[in-house]
Structure 1
Amino acid sequence: MQVQLIKFMEKALKMSRELQGYTLREPIGVAGHIIPWNFPSSMFFMMSAPALAAGCTMIVKPAEQTPLSALFYADLANKAGVPAGVLNVITGYGPTAGAAIASHMDVDKVCFTGSTEVGRKIMQAAATSNLKQVSLELGGKSPLLIFDDADVDKAADLALLGILYNKGEICVASSRVFVQEGIYDEFVKKLKEKAKDWVVGDPFDPRSRQGPQVDKQQFDKILSYIEHGKREGATLLTGGKPIGKTGYFIEPTVFTDVKEDMMIATDEIFGPVMSLMKFETIEEAIKKANNTKYGLAAGIVTKNLDVANTVSRSIRAGTIWINCYFGFDRDCSYGGYKMSGFGRHLGLEALHKFLQVKSVVTPIYNSPWL
């Protein structure tokens, strides 16, 4: 069974000469999806659903740490009647299977979610093969700005959620928290109390709010950054140690007295480690928030609408949350600025990235252009 290519009539064009014209949006062709290990189910659908809706065929490569869900969903797609060859899953490692997708001459677009380092390699492979289109959703070091008028109790809850959700293994984690000086001391006290009450343990236990890191490599990486923070002179407010003798559990970790050039404030740790810093003015907060090579997301906590509007328009990031965090919705696209990549997930933008625009022009009858 062959898949019929979908052609979307975009719009008729108002031509300046005796010509008739319109544009089409057509499926880009074969899409290659390279998805990460931290959200294997969500990312599978966020990448494959718009490609399928656009009429594309695809190859999905899950991360080597988490291949089973993608294989299961491919089997479900087959049982649901998706034609053979439309949704294909190939397992393997990045340097082999992932590199083959990025460099293949018959793949028309590659979508990658992961580190900035690997994102560069994806772009290089696309450039040296068939100049396939690329969408990248890469690293982040997202700021959370908490202003003096914020409810301190709720702000502390948001700050912990922003860094501890999914054990901090999420690209939009609010790992840099900036608090205005008027409530800073009160916020630090409240945050420390709440962090100590955060339950870390078996993710199948309903009392647990934080499970283990994905593997030993990530576990060791996070602990090494915690040691870097201590050596660089940051103050360990709470946490900083492994939990138990089995599994890869790490205490919720908060550093104060963090300077912006410290490794814990500049590098994406991808773990439950927060860098807490102070600011005085709105202008200073904006400058500190933008002082990063990344630009994936940011959060703002304030009751002042003018402050919220000013700051949200000034921060160079693809998603801004005001008085909430992780507020994703299917119609609200997200993606990065700067070294956090380009291209968008969700919303119409996600559909459009799998469509090519074609202009069709023909002369009007008896036109001199005939």
Structure 2
Amino acid sequence: MFIGGTWRAASGGGTFAVRDPSTGAVLAEVADATPEDGIAALDAAVAAQDAWASTAPRERSDIMRRAFDLVREHEDDLAALMSLEMGKPLAESRGEVTYGGEFLRWFSEEAVRIGGDYRTNPEGTGRGIVLKRPVGPVYAITPWNFPLAMATRKIGPALAAGCTVVVKPADLTPLTTLFLVELFRRAGLPDGVLNVVPASDAKGLSEPIIADRRLRKLTFTGSTPVGSALLKQAADNVLKTSMELGGNAPLIVFDDADLDTAVDAAMLAKFRNVGEACTAANRFFVQKGIADAFVAALTEKVRALRIGRGTEDGTTMGPLIDDRAVDKTAGLVDDAVERGAELVVGGSRVDRPGTFYEPTVLDQVRPGSDILTTEIFGPVVSITRFATEDEGIRLANDTEFGLVAYAFTADLRRGQRLAERLETGMIGLNTGVVSNAAFPFGGVKSSGLGREGSHEGIEEYLESVYVLTPDPFAA
């Protein structure tokens, strides 16, 4: 773990194993942080907070830009680590290095653009000044599925705003974050500004940190039930929070869609990261006039996916993260088939070492199937056919979640209607990937609070201070 600018063992001497999901082999033993280690990390962040907040924005920006350059320089190292500990193919890992690095570049540029306001009050009796200042020490809890990007998406705006940070990476994939903090150290980040505490007991580590009144911000990416529990804990000290939670993304294909575009985009929206993404398309709603052609074309591409270890040449789909993920995926598929869905391709575990599941297409999925209400987090296409635009929108909105939706149509007016009627924070219109550091990432309903990326992202780590001064022209 990394606390106060130094690498150290856990105070209890414990470690936990990080495994390759492709083989089950142990990759490394990592220090297992105790609650005392968590508080030590917060101590370091608190001690560094005032100096970092008063550091010139240009200096903060330059350090972050150097970190971005180091991420690019070590692209192959970071990609290899991600493929080993998470399982995704190297090509996708390199894509994540590019994507994750962009949050450092973007927020290095935003660091020097933190604004404020100055205006006359409506009565004309004074002048109002609005200042922006960092909220204070941040606790960031990151998931295992995008171990670099989910870290930089939180660390980037926090550092740019002048906040210090304690990061708890997922215990399944801590190695990438540990390497990232080393790159920040090489970039010249002052001691204590960024601390990383891996732990096998997330709850035990997090509770005392969140309960500590010195902490002022909690940011989390993960499941909605865990996010809800964290919000309840954060309420005691009225912490500023941002939550990027679960998704159940609809992908809607209308009769007038370009078939090739829709199929290619659907492959990205579903099978990128083995389907283990909050933005993954879960529920496919295909209009009846194009449904047969869409299912046939998509199935052909699914059959061509090559399963294997992420580090192997030619692999296009790696393993799921662990046995629990395989069991969950299999259970959802079995339930859908038992309720009347047609199994077009796949539908089974892969008989080889590691935690693999076949890429799967289900057609004619019936109402009431668990797969329609559960975030799959696996390589399964679940297709329901619909007749009218209104029916497609109703089906898409029939979920507690609202992170992202995908829609394919040649009708611009329909696209505009969808933008106003779909209950979601993001929409991919005729495209299967929406994530970009320059635009606000986040959802509505049970998919979370706040936005990451864009100029909105840094506001999550700032607070406004209003100062009223007398009218300078008053007698």
Aligned to 2:383: 276
CA distances 1:239-289 after superposition (whole Å, capped 9, x unpaired): 111122211111111111213431011101211112101111111111111
Aligned to 1:183: 290
Aligned to 2:418: 311
Specify every segment of 5 or more residues in structure 2 that has no aligned partner in the other structure, as ranges.
Answer: 1-47, 58-113
Which whole-Å CA distance do the structure 2 matches of 1:295 and 1:52 have between them? Answer: 29
Q: 2:150 aligns with which of 43, 51, 60?
A: 43
Which whole-Å CA distance do the structure 1 matches of 2:211 and 2:328 have between them? Answer: 30
CA distances 1:158-202 after superposition (whole Å, capped 9, x unpaired): 222211110010001011111111111111222222211121112
Matched, 1:123 2:231: yes
Which whole-Å CA distance do the structure 2 matches of 1:355 and 1:38 have between them? Answer: 27
Deviates more, 1:74-83 or 1:60-69: 74-83
Aligned to 2:120: 14
Q: In 2, are the aligned partners of 1:19 and 1:364 still within 8 Å (CA)?
A: yes
Matched, 1:286 2:396: no
Q: Please report how far the alpha carbon of residue 9 of structure 1 lies from its aligned counterpart in structure 2 after TM superposition.
A: 4.5
Q: In 2, are the aligned partners of 1:5 and 1:27 still within 8 Å (CA)?
A: no
Q: In 1, are the aligned partners of 2:53 and 2:163 still within 8 Å (CA)?
A: no
CA distances 1:301-359 after superposition (whole Å, capped 9, x unpaired): 11111111111221111110111111322211110110001111110111011000110
Deviates more, 1:46-55 or 1:329-338: 329-338
CA distances 1:103-141 after superposition (whole Å, capped 9, x unpaired): 33211010000000100111011012x110111111101
Aligned to 2:211: 103
Deviates more, 1:89-98 or 1:139-148: 89-98
Aligned to 2:15: none
Identity over the aligned pairs, expressed in percent?
37
Aligned to 1:357: 464
Aligned to 2:307: 200
1:214-229 equivalences under 5 Å are: 214-229=321-336
Q: 1:3 aligns with which of 46, 52, 63?
A: 52
Aligned to 1:145: 252
What is the count of residue pairs matched by the alignment?
Answer: 367
Deviates more, 1:202-211 or 1:355-364: 202-211
Aligned to 1:60, the other structure's residue is in SS state: strand
Q: 2:278 aligns with which of 171, 180, 184?
A: 171
TM-score calculated relative to the size of structure 2: 0.74
Q: 1:69 aligns with which of 149, 173, 176?
A: 176
Q: Please report how far the alpha carbon of residue 154 of structure 1 lies from its aligned counterpart in structure 2 after TM superposition.
A: 2.8
Q: Please report how far the alpha carbon of residue 366 of structure 1 lies from its aligned counterpart in structure 2 after TM superposition.
A: 8.2
Q: In 2, are the aligned partners of 1:31 and 1:56 still within 8 Å (CA)?
A: yes
Pairwise CA RMSD:
1.7
Q: Please report how far the alpha carbon of residue 16 of structure 1 lies from its aligned counterpart in structure 2 after TM superposition.
A: 2.3
Q: In 2, are the aligned partners of 1:138 and 1:340 still within 8 Å (CA)?
A: yes
Which whole-Å CA distance do the structure 2 matches of 1:94 and 1:231 have between them? Answer: 36
CA distances 1:227-250 after superposition (whole Å, capped 9, x unpaired): 222222222111111122211111
1:71-86 equivalences under 5 Å are: 71-86=178-193
